[in-house]
Structure 1
Amino acid sequence: MDGSFRLRAVTLTLFLVFLTLAAIDPKFCYGNSEVHCIQSEQQALLRFKKDLTDPLNRLASWSGDGDCCQWVGVVCNNVTGHVQGLHLRSFPPPLIEFFSIDPHLGSIPPTSNSNFSSLATLDLSFNSFENALIPSWVFGYQNLVALNLSANGFQGPIPIGLQNMTSLKHLDLSANNFTSSIPSWLYGFSHLEFLNLRKNLLHGKISSSIRNLTSAISIDLTSNQLVGKVPRSLGNVCNLRELRLSDNKLSQEVSEILEGLLRCVSYGLEVLEMYDAQLFGHLTEELGQFQNLTKLSLEVHLLAAIASAVVAIMIPGPRLLIAAIVCPLESLIIVPIPVVFSFVNIAALKFSLTLPLHGCCH
């Protein structure tokens, strides 16, 4: 049995288990049986459903004689019964291909007269909507704390209509076709904890105003067309734990980036991904000050240069630093390799770099 078949078998098994649990207890997925939804909001959901295309009848539970708090994808407040979450994401592409289905909701209404005053979470991801733009009614929910519009094929600039949604803690616009620079107003989202803009066509520089994302825990800008230097002000984003900048055109010395992060960020940063970002130079002693780093992803030529500076790298142990080699073949191959820093004290500093014996690195 080859690996591909085993993976498909495991995926199918997990999917069937999920469906079984959902069938046994609808509350496994959504809703709360202790409260009933607001009648006006139930009618608003039914109007919203009429404007959607639902080839798999995913929203079959959305009917006039049911309690909308028990409907698939609807989450109500446990006390008030108001709709506070709409989770209408589709299946990721691997599952769609595996089951040969089309679960997308088709087009999404450009306007809506629905008003869910308590809506806090909206997830429409992986639906590949036919619309080219984010519908304007989304911008009306300015109290949202989580918005996921990833993998929907939205185009054009990141819409200015989002600028008033300053309560957001989680914003995911990844895997679309946005073509603007990162708008200046986005850097003012001081409550934002998770920002995902990966896999778009964003260009321009990362502004020094990124320091204003004071609550940010994870920033993912992977696979865009960003240029210029990583601003030193990013080092002042003290809560940052994950920073992903891979597959851009930064053209900067890697040690300069590390030096710029040597402020409060260095104490908590756990993941730093910068492969295929057109970086150059080599790692220096600054790396030793990232005491909680567990994953570092760089191109192979940057890793190869580390040996010359390893005596100056001081990482308290035991720690495990996992690097990634990117091989410049027809398609990128990322091969995980262990780089183990396990030391009782600095005097016992050792360095081990194990390269794979297959793939592009011989």
Structure 2
Amino acid sequence: MTRLSETLPSEPSAALSSVYGTAFQAAREAVGPQNHPASTLYVVATPIGNLADITLRALYVIERANTLACEDTRHTQQLLRAYGLDRNNSQLLAVHQHNEAEAAAQVIARLAQGERVAYVSDAGTPAISDPGARLVAAVAAAGYRVMPLPGASSVTTLLSAAGVVGEGGFVFTGFLSSKAAERQRAIETLVGEQRAVVLLEAPHRIEALAQALNILGGRLVTIGRELTKQFETVHTLEAQKLTAWFAEHTDRVRGEFALVIHALEKPKTDPTEALDASSLRTLKLLLTELPLKTAVKMTSDITGASKNVLYDTALSLKKGLE
């Protein structure tokens, strides 16, 4: 997902460390009474951009963990130092997409020795788009507990600001193929997807993705760029206008991206079209002589049509007469 590289200080200041020293004290007091057992893998979400988005519980578990399994040990060490922590290399274990299956065996060995192992990806919640799923599956299969620590995620961050309206939730697709033909085929399958869809993209491919999404026409897309960082952008527009929007300013193609394709709007239908001719004629006749609810009930009794459909139709007919 998003990386923290641009927001992490190369040399954390003493002032920064002292601020988080206060946070660590608060974490110990707030989280201390809770149970965080040994021989457990802790899946820990870390900030996607803003260092202040770390949770008290994450700080507490990171401080107490015997081993930190991480996507990039150098990156994690930099993150730890920003919070005033430092770990020696023996306490850091690289677990990334190229060695996840093999490294899982090392994690399990440490759990067997009674260690607390915390896994962090470069940024965000592990095992969503970043590595971690294979590690979690292997640890669970070995009979050890996996405890998730919720926190930052570019997926939920953007969804919360996108204003997506519609039923059925959303689909998380993540990164599409870097190959143009495969990416186009994947997007073509999204044309008929009625639910909202969340995509992730890197800066060097965002313009190609925008061009490919043109097939969605007037369907709304919310772009999240550099989420939680200083130059954060959240903007909603029609898919067919994405290419032009990116072309307006060169800065718009810089940074990491999350995109939400909004839910497909259901076509509005005329309620009268849901009734057969006989039911509609009966309803119209009764409405001229009886109150709405009585006309609806009698029409339903006579024709067997749904009361809900009849009621909606009756309301529509009444509005037409006003």
Tell me the TM-score normalized by structure 2: 0.35
- Relative contact order (alpha carbons < 8 A, sep ≥ 6): 1 or 2 greater? 2
Higher helix share: 2
User: Larger C-alpha radius of gyration, 1 or 2?
Assistant: 2
